[in-house]
Amino acid sequence: MEYYYNEIDILSYDLALQYDKRTYLQYYISLLRTKHILFFSFCYDDDYNSKIIKIDLFFIGFSIYYTVNALFFNDATMHKIYENKGSFDFIYQTPQILYSSLISAVLGLLMDMLALSNDAIIDFKKNKSKEYIERKENDLKFKLKVKFILFFIFGFIFLLFFWYYLSMFGAVYRNTQAHLINDTLISFCLSLIYPFGICLIPGFLRIPALAYPEKKRIYLYKVSKLLQML
């Protein structure tokens, strides 16, 4: 079975020397397709994840950003909005936006652990023994079924809580809706922008590590694999 790009990214050094012939630009684009939530959800099909679950994750992720930003609105925030006569103070809101972005990203990673099946299937695929495959096939199916069931249960609970909290927030603080939407859009847009910068870094190490096989730059390659996990 041929390797997908996301499988090539995690190969051992010796196997990467054999199979990874990509240029820096090709490697960078492959990282964007797997790390950028927009591309990953709607434009990337060369993996072992469910397409509908990836799309579901995208919208759950946005609802997480929306709700977490609402949780940061407190009395001090309301007072500042009153002092500014309703105008949006970007400098004052910046710490709140950054904190909410970080918390939302962590919650999103937890949901990814329940929803995505790619890593489990890749681990299963590495084993070539027919006896092992036959023995582990049912175990893998059971594991994925449990993961998917837990994902939909927790996803439903989260969405129910988000709907309830945001409804109450909107009913009580009607004049802060524009500020909440601004904060949410800014923090969510940050999550769409920073992968373009972070994905530039691993290639600076990976490509030189694989370009000169005779120099055995295995440690440089391992560092690049750690960086691509960001």
pLDDT at 221 over 80: yes
What's the one-letter identity of residue 49? N
**What is the rounded end-to-end Cα distance, in angstroms, of the chain?**
28
pLDDT tens-place string over residues 28-63: 999 999 999 999 999 888 889 999 999 999 999 999
Contact between residue 28 and residue 200 where contact means Cβ atoms under 8 Å apart: yes
The gap from C-alpha 108 to its chain's centroid, in whole angstroms, comes to 6
Rounded to whole angstroms, how far apart are CA atoms 137 and 124? Answer: 8
- Of all residues in the chain, the percent with pLDDT exceeding 90 is 43
pLDDT tens-place string over residues 126-153: 776 777 777 788 889 999 999 999 999 9
Contact between residue 230 and residue 221 where contact means Cβ atoms under 8 Å apart: no
62's tokens: 């946005």
